[in-house]
Amino acid sequence: MGREGTPRGSRQVFGEEELELTLVSVVVGLALAVAYHLLSVRLQGWFSRFSAILLPLVFVVGFLIRLLVLAVVLVVIALWTPLSIVAVALSFIGLFTVLTGIWLYRMATKGRKTPPPGDGTPQVPIGDADAG
pLDDT single digits (tens) 37-70? 998 888 777 777 776 777 778 778 878 888 898 8
Mean pLDDT of 72-83: 90
State whether residue 85 is helix, strand or coil: helix
Q: Is the pLDDT of residue 1 over 80?
A: no
Rg of the chain (C-alpha set): 24
Rounded Cα distance between 65 and 68, Å, is 5
Cβ neighbors of 36 (< 8 A, separation 6 or more) are 66, 70, 92, 96
Cβ neighbors of 116 (< 8 A, separation 6 or more) are 123
Q: Helices H, strands E: what count in the chain? A: 3, 0
Q: Is the pLDDT of residue 130 over 60?
A: no
Q: Is the pLDDT of residue 13 over 60?
A: no
Residue 29 contacts residue 89 (beta carbons within 8 Å): yes
Is the pTM higher than 0.95? no
